[in-house]
Amino acid sequence: MAPIRANWRIVLVMGLFFVLANAMLWRAVYLKISEREFLEKQGGMRYERVQEIAAHRGRILDRHGEPLAVSTPMESVWINPRDLGESVNRLPELAQVLDVDVGKLKSQVLRHADKRFMYVKRQVTPEVGASVRALRISGVNTQREYRRFYPTGEASVHVLGFNNMDDEALEGLERTYDDWLRGEPGARRIIKDLHGKVIETGELIRDARPGNDLTLSIDRRLQYLAYRELKEAVQLNKAKAGSAVLLDVRTGEILAMVNQPSFNPNDRGSLRPNLARNRAMIDNFEPGSTMKPFAVSAAMETGKYTPSTPVDTHPGYMRVDRFTIRDHNNYGLLDVTGVIRKSSNVGVTKMAMAIGPEKLWTLYDHLGLGKAAGTGFPGESSGRLLHYRDWSGSDIATHAYGYGMSVNTLQLARAYAAIAHDGVLLPVSFLRIEQPPTGEPVLSPTVARSVRTMMEEVVKRGGTGTKAQVMGYRVAGKTGTAHKSQGGGYAEDKYVAVFAGMAPASNPRLALAVMIDEPTGGSYYGGQVAGPVFAAIMDEALRTMNVPPDALPEPQVAPGVMSVTAPGTTPGATAKPVSAKSVANPASKPATLAVVVNGGAH
C-alpha cells in the first residue's frame, strides 16, 4: 500500500503545478491581449515626460518706450540625486563650472539622496548652462528660465515692484498687471533614459505665449531726477523717509513717483521688508498747512470771500472749544491772500467756521481725500477723512489747517492738480493715456484761478515758500509743517515737512507734492526742507519737457539806460541793448531798444 500512497502524492503535486502553470499562462495571455494598451502607456510614462516651456514675460516700458523692466533668458542647473550613481565622483567638475563649493554641493546631494529633484544653482547665463551640458554628467540637467532685470534700479522699484526667482510677481505694478505681463507657458513631450537624461525631444504640445508689453505714464528721465533730488534731501536733512509725486495736470498721468529709503531690485540680497513699501501711496500723514488753499477755496465758493476780503487775525491766537489756535506771529488784519501768504491758522479757521463744516468736508470729499485713488496698486491707502457729522467742536478748525485727517503723497498731488486744472479733478493713471479723460469739476474755474494766483504769493518775498522758486517760471504752491501723531497726542520733536504746488502758474502743466518725514538736520519747516526739493525737481522737469517759461527776467541794462519797446513788438520781449549806431541802421531792428536819456534811468 505504501507505493500507492506515494504515487498519489506525486500525482497531486504535479496536478497543482499544472493548474498553477495554466493560471499564469492565462494571466499572461490576458495581459498581453486585454491590457496591452494600458501597460504600454504605463511603460511609456517611465521614460516619456511633458516638459514645460517657459514663457517670456512682457516688458514694462516708460512713456517713451524706454525699458523699465525686461526679462533675460537664463538657465537653472538641477540634479536628480537618484540618477547620479557613480557620477557623484564628477561633482567637482560641476562645482568648478558653476563656481560653487564642492563640499557644500556633495552635502546637498547627500541630503537629497532619496529625491528626484534638487536645484544646484539658479539663473546662470546661457554660456554656463552650455558648459554644464557639455560635461554630460548623468543626472545633471538644465532648464530655461527668465530673470527679471530693472534698468532704473532703486529709482523705480517702488512703482514697478519686483518678481521672485520663479518670476512670480510680488509687489507693485508687476503684481497689479501680472495677468497681462506673464504670458502662458508652452509644453512638449520628451524621452528620457533610465538615468534621467533627455535622449529625444518629442512633439510640441503647445507653444509658449509671450506676455504683453505694458507702457506706463512714467517718464524715465523725470523718475531719475526726482529720485536723485529726493535722496539728496533725505540725506541732507537726516530724515527718516520721503516721497514725491509728479503729475501731468492735463491728463492725470503719473510722470514720476519716488521714495526714500529704497533698494536695488537687481540685488535681492539687499531687500528688507521696510524698504519695499511704496510710501507715496501707502504711508499716510497729516498734511498740515497744505490744506489751507482748499479751505480758502471752499470759503470763496460760497461767495462770502474774495482774495481782498479782510480777515482779522489779531491777537495771533483764538479759542475754539477747549483749544487755543495760534499763529507764529500776530499778523493783525490780513486779506485772504495774506492768510495764504503768511499761512495763518487763525485766519483760515475763522473762514472755515464762517462757512460751516459741511461745505469744507464736501470739497475735501470731492477732491478724493479719504478715498483710494483707484489705481489698483497693491496696498494703496485711502487716508482718513471723517464725515463732518462725526466732527467735534474743534475739528472744523483742525481740518482747515490739515490736522485730524491724513493723506498720502499721491492724494495731495492730485488735489493740487485739480486747482492747476481750473478746478477739474482727473483720475490718476500709471498707464500712458492717449485721450485725456473728462474729469469731474470740483471748483469753479474762477475760484481755482484766484487761489492759484494767491498761492504765487507764498513763494515770493514775505511768503513761507521762497525756496520753492523756479527761475523763469511762475510757481504757485503751499508749505506744510505738521507735528507727527504719537500716543494719542502729538510728538514735540517729530515733524512732517511738505510742499505742494504747480507750474507754470499762468498755465499749469505739472503738479508736484514733496513730503519729508522726520527731518532732523536743523530746520523742519516745509518751506525750508521740502521747498528746495520741489524747486529742483520742477525746474528740471519743466525744462526737460520743453515747457515755455512764463516769468522771463526783465532785460538787464546799464545805469542811465532804460528799456523802450519798439513799435510792433511784444512788451517784455528779451533782447540785448544796442548802440545808437545800430539803432540808426534800418537793417537792425531789435525788439527792445536801450536809449540813454539825460544821463539817467527813467
Region 406-411 average pLDDT: 98
pLDDT at 581 over 70: no
| More confident: 28 or 459 | 459
C-alpha cell at 171: 509687489
Integer Cα distance of 91 and 100 in angstroms: 10
Q: Which letter does DSSP use for residue 169 in this model? A: B
pLDDT at 101 over 50: yes
The type of residue at 466 is T
C-alpha cell at 394: 474743534
pLDDT computed for residue 360 by the predictor: 98
Are 68 and 128 in contact by the 8 Å Cβ rule? The answer is no
Dihedral over Cα of 250, 251, 255, 257: its sign: positive
pLDDT in tens, 11-28: 666 767 776 776 677 766
pLDDT computed for residue 31 by the predictor: 54
Region 319-338 average pLDDT: 95
C-alpha cell at 397: 478748525
pLDDT computed for residue 209 by the predictor: 86
Region 260-285 average pLDDT: 89
| Polymer length of the chain | 602
Are 529 and 233 in contact by the 8 Å Cβ rule? The answer is yes
pLDDT at 585 over 50: no
Region 542-565 average pLDDT: 69
Share of the chain above pLDDT 70, in %: 81
pLDDT at 446 over 70: yes
The domain 50-215 belongs to what CATH superfamily? Penicillin-binding protein 2a (Domain 2) (3.90.1310.10)
DSSP string across 104-154: HHHHHHHHTTT-S-EEEEEEE-HHHHHHHHHH--TTEEEEEEEEEE-TTGG
Are 137 and 94 in contact by the 8 Å Cβ rule? The answer is yes
Integer Cα distance of 385 and 391 in angstroms: 10
Place of cell 504769493: 457
pLDDT at 83 over 90: no
pLDDT at 559 over 90: no
Helix-, strand-, coil-residue percentages of the chain, each rounded to 5: 40, 25, 35
Integer Cα distance of 601 and 217 in angstroms: 51
C-alpha cell at 253: 498721468
Strand partners, 515: 243, 498
pLDDT band of 4, cuts 50, 70, 90: low
Protein fold of 220-263+279-544: Beta-lactamase (3.40.710)
pLDDT computed for residue 117 by the predictor: 87
- Helices H / strands E in the chain, number of each: 20, 21
Place of cell 519716488: 258
Q: Which residues of the chain form CATH 3.90.1310.10?
A: 50-215
Are 82 and 113 in contact by the 8 Å Cβ rule? The answer is yes
Strand partners, 214: 60
Hey, is 286 helix, strand or coil? coil
pLDDT computed for residue 207 by the predictor: 79
How far is it between the farthest Cα atoms of the chain? Answer: 165
pLDDT computed for residue 597 by the predictor: 28
Place of cell 495731495: 412
pLDDT at 98 over 70: yes
Region 383-396 average pLDDT: 94
Strand partners, 242: 260, 516
Q: Are strands 323-326 and 317-320 parallel, antiparallel or unpaired?
A: antiparallel
| More confident: 578 or 90 | 90
Region 137-150 average pLDDT: 88
- Calculate the CA 286 to chain-centre distance: 21
Whole-number average pLDDT of the chain: 85
Burial class (CB in 10 A: 0-12, 13-18, 19+), 588: exposed
pLDDT band of 551, cuts 50, 70, 90: confident
pLDDT computed for residue 572 by the predictor: 38
Burial 528-557 (b: 16+ CB within 10 A, else e): bbbbbbbbbbbbbbbeeeebebbbeeebeb
Dihedral over Cα of 9, 12, 16, 21: its sign: positive
**Which range has highest mean pLDDT (35-39, 223-227, 581-585)?**
223-227
Q: What is the set of active-site residues?
A: 289
pLDDT band of 201, cuts 50, 70, 90: low
pLDDT at 39 over 80: no
The type of residue at 70 is V
Beta strands (DSSP E) in 282-332 are: 310-312, 317-320, 323-326
The type of residue at 277 is R
pLDDT computed for residue 388 by the predictor: 96
Region 465-484 average pLDDT: 97
The type of residue at 182 is R
Please give the helix or strand (H or E) that residue 541 lies within, else none. helix 531-544
Integer Cα distance of 550 and 507 in angstroms: 9
Q: Are strands 241-248 and 254-260 parallel, antiparallel or unpaired?
A: antiparallel
Burial 75-99 (b: 16+ CB within 10 A, else e): bbbbbbbebbeebbebbeebbebbe
Q: Which residues of the chain form CATH 3.40.710.10?
A: 220-263+279-544
pLDDT at 545 over 60: yes
Region 161-168 average pLDDT: 87
pLDDT computed for residue 566 by the predictor: 40
Region 159-171 average pLDDT: 89
Over its C-alpha atoms, the chain yields an Rg (Å, rounded) of 37
Hey, is 356 helix, strand or coil? coil
Place of cell 482774495: 307
Place of cell 544653482: 121
pLDDT in tens, 43-74: 544 556 776 777 889 999 999 999 999 999 99
Residue 279 falls in which region: left (phi positive, over 0), alpha (psi -120 to 50) or beta: alpha
Integer Cα distance of 245 and 232 in angstroms: 16
Within 10 angstroms of residue 320's Cβ, the number of other Cβ atoms is 17
Are 537 and 226 in contact by the 8 Å Cβ rule? The answer is yes
C-alpha cell at 435: 485721450
